[in-house]
């Protein structure tokens, strides 16, 4: 359970961190160049950092379920 919690925290950190302007520029560089492109690339839903944050949380939730499923499969076939 602790492992899953750590995964969520790390993912959330990666999603929330780019509110920092220097990270925006880095994202912009990967997406196409400019500061504005970095923001739109990051919050691809509708614009606000709040929506982007929720995208991050939902993504993490899906990842955790996926890893949990893989773990269950592994234990099942290990027997």
Q: What is the pLDDT of residues 30-60, one digit of tens each?
A: 444 444 444 454 544 444 555 555 566 666 6
Phi, psi values for residue 34, rounded to 5°: -90, 165
The predicted pLDDT at position 3 comes to 72
- Measured at the CA of 46, the angle between CA 20 and CA 39, to 5 degrees, comes to 30
Consecutive H or E run containing 15: helix 2-16
Q: What is the pLDDT of residues 58-73, one digit of tens each?
A: 666 777 778 888 888 8
* Token pair listed for 72: 């269950």
The predicted pLDDT at position 14 comes to 59
Where do the domains of the chain lie? 6-78
Span 9-22, mean pLDDT? Answer: 54
The predicted pLDDT at position 58 comes to 65
């Amino acid at each position: 359970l602790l492992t899953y919690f750590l995964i969520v925290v790390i993912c959330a950190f990666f999603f929330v961190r780019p509110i920092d302007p220097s990270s925006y520029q880095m994202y912009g560089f990967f997406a196409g160049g400019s500061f504005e492109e970095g923001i739109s690339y990051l919050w691809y839903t509708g614009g606000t950092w709040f929506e982007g944050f929720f995208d991050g949380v939902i993504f993490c939730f899906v990842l955790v379920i996926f890893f949990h499923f893989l773990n269950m499969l592994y234990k099942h076939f290990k027997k």
